[in-house]
């Protein structure tokens, strides 16, 4: 059965709903290990899953527009709040992601609308910035962690591992040997062209060279996809209105592009195309982006496939 190219950069055909599930006070018998923000279609059906991890010191709510974009194309996106304050070590995040993954088959269906069925055999893991690094760490089975459910694809949205080469967060994952990541699944890395540019001379860039998207992609095995946006910064796919002190800081510490909406459309669209390819077996949109047969809302710096 052949499919036609769809505009993955625009909102999809499904109406979406955001669910907020608290880890402490939820009425269900099996509360999640961490509080969750879930974007789900509301039209009945069975849908693949994406577990998506927030960036360093950011809130999962800052990604609400992005995860709704993905959900509108027929996916259930689960975005946990892994912490509010954290040090340089991601050990606890790895344990938390494993616990959340193991909870999904026990508790997710009790939270979703009755007509929505999660497909636990089609599950992807992804994250932004430090959340991207954590996703790779889980895929690489760091700390000997295993999960009840198997991931089929990994996404890193401008992933970052520390301040500089040699100043990585623990546990380290880079070997700096090309194609050395040892896991059996497809990978998508999205890079932001301004991520390694300082906005303020007093602070380092948000995605420094030596520990950023270039290094993650370099260590990926086949099949892996790599798209880099030219004139956008490290947090330019967040919601337009990120509230509170953390939300304001997201505009101050990282070099920014002109507007968040085009980058959010780009990131959401590439994620959808990749998920369709490796969770649905439909690579038409992903190939259309690669082959420049689909109009892209931003200018790409380059793209690669291995």
Give 270-282 as a DSSP string: HHHHHHHHHHSS-
Residue 6, pLDDT score: 83
The pLDDT of 269-289, averaged and rounded, is 97
Res. 2: pLDDT tops 80: no
Which tokens hold the place of 163? 């301040």
DSSP assignment letter at 191: E
Return the percentage of the chain with pLDDT > 70, whole number: 98
For the stretch 45-57, pLDDT in tens is 999 999 999 999 8
Q: Name the band, by pLDDT with cuts 50, 70 and 90, for residue 26.
A: low
How far apart CA 76 and CA 48 sit, in angstroms, is 6
Res. 27: pLDDT tops 70: no
Q: Where in the chain does DSSP place strands (E)?
A: 16-21, 36-41, 45-53, 76-80, 116-128, 153-157, 186-192, 224-229, 300-305
Which tokens hold the place of 181? 């990541």
Tokens 């690489």 correspond to: 140
Report how far Cα 59 is from the mean position of its chain's Cα atoms.
13
Give the residue numbers annotated as catalytic, written as ranges: 129, 158, 234
How far apart CA 190 and CA 304 sit, in angstroms, is 11
Helix (H, G, I), strand (E, B) or coil at 286: helix
What pTM was estimated for this model as a whole? Answer: 0.96
Residue 226, pLDDT score: 97
Q: Which domains does the chain have, with CATH numbers?
A: 16-301 (3.40.50.1820)
Residue 106, pLDDT score: 94
The pLDDT of 132-147, averaged and rounded, is 96
The pLDDT of 147-168, averaged and rounded, is 95
The answer to whether 83 and 24 have CB atoms below 8 angstroms apart is no
Residue 253, pLDDT score: 84
30 against 156, higher pLDDT: 156
> Cα–Cα distances in Å, from 206 out to 50, 142, 234?
25, 24, 6
Tell me how far apart the 2 most distant CA atoms of the chain are, in Å: 56
């Amino acid at each position: 059965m052949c499919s036609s190219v769809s505009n993955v950069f625009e909102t999809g055909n499904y109406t979406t709903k955001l669910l907020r599930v608290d880890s402490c006070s939820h009425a269900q018998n099996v509360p999640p290990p961490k509080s969750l923000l879930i974007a789900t279609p509301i039209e009945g059906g069975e849908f693949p899953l994406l577990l998506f991890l927030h960036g360093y010191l950011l809130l999962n709510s800052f990604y609400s527009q992005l995860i709704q974009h993905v959900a509108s194309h027929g996916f259930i996106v689960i975005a946990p709040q892994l912490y509010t304050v954290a040090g340089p070590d991601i050990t606890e995040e790895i344990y938390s992601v494993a616990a959340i993954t193991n909870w999904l088959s026990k508790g997710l269906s009790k939270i979703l609308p009755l007509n929505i069925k999660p497909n636990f055999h089609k599950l992807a893991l992804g994250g932004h910035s430090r959340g991207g690094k954590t996703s790779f760490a889980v895929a690489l089975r760091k700390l000997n962690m295993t999960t009840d459910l198997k991931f089929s694809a990994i996404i890193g949205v401008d992933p970052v591992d520390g301040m500089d080469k040699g100043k990585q967060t623990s546990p380290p994952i880079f070997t700096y040997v090309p194609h050395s990541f040892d896991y059996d699944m497809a990978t998508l890395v999205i890079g932001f062209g301004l991520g390694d540019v300082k906005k303020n001379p007093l602070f380092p860039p948000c995605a420094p060279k030596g520990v950023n998207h270039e290094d993650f992609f370099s260590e990926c095995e086949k099949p892996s996809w790599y798209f880099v946006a030219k004139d956008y910064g490290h947090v330019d796919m967040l919601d337009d209105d990120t509230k509170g002190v953390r939300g304001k800081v997201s505009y101050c510490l990282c070099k920014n592009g002109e507007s968040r909406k085009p980058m959010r459309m780009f990131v959401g669209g590439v994620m959808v195309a990749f998920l369709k390819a490796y969770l649905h077996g439909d690579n038409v949109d992903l190939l259309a982006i690669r082959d420049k047969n689909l109009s892209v809302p931003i200018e790409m710096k380059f793209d690669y496939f291995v």
